[in-house]
Structure 1
Amino acid sequence: MAKIIITGGTGLVGKRLSKLLIDKKHDVVILSRSPKNENEFKWDISSNYVDEKALLNTDYIIHLAGAGIADKRWTKERKEVIINSRVKSANLLFDKISELKINLKGFISASGVGYYGAITTNKIYQETDNAGTDFLGDVCQKWENAAHQFSTKNIPVTILRTGIVLTDNGGALDKMKTPIITPLGSGKQFLPWIHLDDLCAIYIKAIEENLEGIFNAVAPEHHTSITFSKELAKSINKPYIGIGVPSFMLKLIFGEMAKILLEGSKISAKKIEKNGYSFRFETLKKALNNL
């Protein structure tokens, strides 16, 4: 049994992950701006505050905190919030862990497949590929650099570059379930995805099997916006129309943020599979049927 702190523990992934870890008899502590339950402790990035009681005797930190990439238009101020919520929060944890001399067994951080940039190519991106030169690439690079500083204290660091997380309650899938299912833009962009339970299982594997390094947390089956939309329409018995939502319309509505809807490449899952992870939901059909 390990003591595990989760930041972003009240979010989509954090809630499910917390439950699964508790079911496995781990001691889970949530850092929250507004603690409500007995296992939740206050932290406040703006005032550089963490309740030190939460940190004592901690074995692992799972860092999921971060403002939603697709929640609001990317104004200059919003971009700062997106970066700071990931980077400053990791820096705060690093400072407190150093100050209290806590010997962590591991620091496990979320990241995104946006690391490779919002681009559509036939290339299959692997963990050794360079970061993209756009906003998302910059966000993920800074996010990961903040995590890597823990290795200067000889703390093993694990980073999971995550695709679209599919869940039966909230998240991207809910927004896709429109009365008529259509692709976006050209429909040729790829949508790297993963079932919530597979993602949580990879986090648990990182803790219980000392998985260290950078891994793409995506399912092995590749889908474009077109093939994803067709599979979704079939699974929820909704009509599918192959005429995509026009790119110009999405750019008008979302501004620069439309990039994440209109661009996307294939991401390799081979490294995590070679490290012994076997996907429960390796195909989109299986994932959607489950959800």
Structure 2
Amino acid sequence: MKTVLITGATGLIGQEIVEVCHDNNVIVHYLTTSKKKLSSEANYKGFYWNPDAKEIDTSCFEGVDTIINLVGATISKRWTSEYKKEIITSRTHTAQLLFDTIKANNFPVAHMVSASAIGVYPSSQTNYYDEDFDRTSDSFLGQVVEKWEKAVDQFSDLQIKVSKIRIGLVLSDKGGALKEIAKPIRFGAGAAFGDGEQWQSWIHIEDLASLFVYVAENNLEGIYNGVAPNPTSNAEFTKITAKVLEKPLFLPNIPKFAMKLVLGEMHILLFESQRVSSQKIEDAGFNFLFHHLEPAIQDLLG
């Protein structure tokens, strides 16, 4: 892998993956819908696309043998019926445009490594999910992942290897869930959600970025869970975050109905329970820097 094309390169995960690529002397081409974000450095070149209008600068594929596909509207925004459509189309239409462009021009892309999500697994306190589990959650997130992965799977029709990384709760100090979880705790208003027993399968952003590049560089094919080896409960997650921030926890748990009033359907993000295994990627030789939650949060917030 000498040159990689990244969609979503300017996002939280994308920026971290770009750094790992550069550390490994990989040239990055990236697609952006913003002409202001175009760059033309030797190892970091931007190309414009407009998936809604089916426009793409085909020179983005020059020298590219691998695509890392991260593009997709955030799920952390109120799920109106209009926005739900955007969450899905921002993933499926973009994949379709890449597919159609590669097919029409016969570009020699060999590998598609795409983001996906553990939201595909049904909520459960007792299941321990590995990649072979084949029942999809009937939640909105399950629908999103099903359509997203289907759009990505078609690349195999072009004899392109397909890998899907099902991402868990991504921990970063630059944005995302951890900052939002830490905010009330910093003000002494932290509390677990519901009974606090729901499983949270998390991953440090550095490990996630390295995992994507590892899958690409080692030509790994198929589904891999992008989660750390030790999931934890929501109550434990809250407790450890408070401990690292040296803040007390004294409020009662926040009931489900209260969050439903505030967030609408999106409240399931806080109450879904998925205990997900990282064994497959570890068996493929990947080594996590952060196996346990406390050192991960200490690294990011300590």
Normalised-by-shorter TM-score class: over 0.9
Q: Show the counterpart of 1:64.
A: 70
What is the percent sequence identity of the aligned residues?
Answer: 38
Cα deviation code 1:118-165 (max 9, x no counterpart)? x23211011111211221111001111111101111111010000011
Which residue number in structure 1 is paired with residue 138 of structure 2? 133
Q: Deviations over 1:40-98 (max 9, x none)?
A: 1111111001111112221111110000011x221111110000000110010000011
1:7-86 alignment, distance < 5 Å: 7-35=7-35, 36=37, 37-38=39-40, 39-70=45-76, 72-86=77-91
CA positional deviation for 1:242: 5.8
Matched residue, 2:201: 192
CA distance in 2, matches of 1:3, 1:96: 18
2:142 maps to 1:155: no
Is it true that 1:208 corresponds to 2:213 in the alignment? Answer: no
CA distance in 2, matches of 1:24, 1:220: 25
Question: Counterpart of 2:4 in 1: which secondary structure?
Answer: strand
Q: Which moved more, 1:24-33 or 1:238-247?
A: 238-247
Q: C-alpha separation between the residues in 2 aligned to 1:146 and 1:209?
A: 23
Number of positions where the alignment pairs a residue of Structure 1 with one of Structure 2: 289
Whole-Å separation in 1 of the counterparts to 2:180 and 2:10: 20
Q: State whether structure 2 residue 132 is matched by structure 1 residue 123.
A: no
Give the structure 2 partner of residue 221 of structure 1: 230
Q: In the alignment, which of 143, 153, 164 is matched to residue 169 of structure 2?
A: 164
RMSD, aligned α-carbons: 1.1
Which 4+ stretches in 1 moved above 6 angstroms? none
Q: Residue 286 in 1 paired to residue 295 in 2?
A: yes
1:253 aligned residue: 262
Kindly indicate whether the alpha-carbon contact (under 8 Å) linking 2:125 and 2:197 is maintained by their aligned counterparts in 1.
no
- The one of 105, 108, 116 aligned to 2:113: 108
Letter in 2 for 1:127: E
Amino acid at match of 2:85: E
How does the TM-score come out when normalised to structure 2? 0.93
Please give the secondary structure, in 1, of the residue aligned with 2:199: coil
Which structure 2 segments of 5+ residues have no match?
Answer: none
- Kindly state the Cα deviation for residue 288 of structure 1 after the two structures are TM-superposed: 1.1
Question: Gaps (5+ residues) in structure 1?
Answer: none
Q: How far 1:23 sits from its partner (Å)?
A: 2.1
Match for residue 284 of structure 2? Answer: 275
